[in-house]
Amino acid sequence: MKRSSIYAEGFNHKNPIPAACRIGNTVYTGSILGTDPGTGAYGDTLEKQCRLMFEHIDRIIRASGGTPDDIIKVTVWMKDRRQRQALNVEWLKMFPDPDSRPARHTMDAPLEGEKLIECSFIAILD
Say yes or no to pLDDT of 64 above 90. yes
> What integer best gives the mean pLDDT of the chain?
96
pLDDT at residue 13, rounded to an integer: 84
The rounded distance, in Å, linking the Cα atoms of 11 and 5 is 13
Residues 6+ apart with CB under 8 A from 33: 42, 49, 52, 53, 56, 115, 117, 118
Region 58-66: mean pLDDT is 98
12-16: long-range contacts (C-beta < 8 A, 24 or more apart)? 12/40
Ordered domains of the chain (ranges, CATH): 3-124 (3.30.1330.40)
Mean pLDDT, residues 76-93 taken together: 97
Give the C-alpha separation, 116 to 122, whole Å.
Answer: 21
Question: Does residue 126 have a pLDDT over 90?
Answer: no
Q: In this predicted structure, what is the pLDDT of residue 14? A: 83
b (16+ CB within 10 A) / e for 22-60: beeeebebbebbbbeeeeeebbeebbebbbbbbbbbebb
Band of pLDDT at residue 12, cut at 50, 70 and 90: confident
Burial zone of 81 (CB within 10 Å; 0-12 exposed, 13-18 middle, 19+ buried): middle
